[in-house]
Structure 1
Amino acid sequence: HLVDDKIHARSIGPYSLVTQQPLAGKAQFGGQRFGEMEVWALEAYGAAHTLQEILTVKSDDVSGRSRVYEAIVKGENLPEPGIPESFNVLVKELQALGLSVTLGREE
């Protein structure tokens, strides 16, 4: 049946080597994409914590994935998300253009 060919879901799976985001498509056992309009919908609904989790830990925060998993297993509060790997890729591309990028951190 056609529906059986179309349905696809994953809990964990492969990630892109460059951006560390979940791969796309059923053939690569990829994850579902969360687009710009879906982000707007969650913003309008006021689901800031859910949105933050989807865009960082469940996407491309490499160290955050393991830290969140450990916190859930131990029953602790979730840690603050780190810098997404896609941002690091952007910084590297800007550095390749000869631009110096530094991040200001609050102390």
Structure 2
Amino acid sequence: MKSIGTSIFYCILGVSAWLSGFLINVVNKVTRNGEGKGWLDGANLNKSHLDRFYWLLSVIGLLWFLNYAYWANKCVCRYNSGTVIEDVKRSPKRETDTI
């Protein structure tokens, strides 16, 4: 089971690395101006717009969080309180119990 978990972890890590490269290429293609350089083109970070890229990542993260919050609020926790009470009644009382 441990090897399966490790394999899944590395698989997700590989897919996320591939998706990050894909996102960088998409951002460069979309943000090209008249000079032919996008936000992340070139080796000079002073001329690149790395700050805009990080703002884009922040907005994407915020959208994912809002998506999570929406679905978490729609989810209703349902449990049968009768079975919990029955289990408590059936369990033997221990000396450490104070109730």
Q: Which has the higher contact order (CA 8 A, sep 6+)?
A: 1
Q: TM-score, length-normalised on structure 2?
A: 0.23
Larger helix share, 1 or 2: 2
Q: TM-score, length-normalised on structure 1?
A: 0.22
Larger radius of gyration: 2
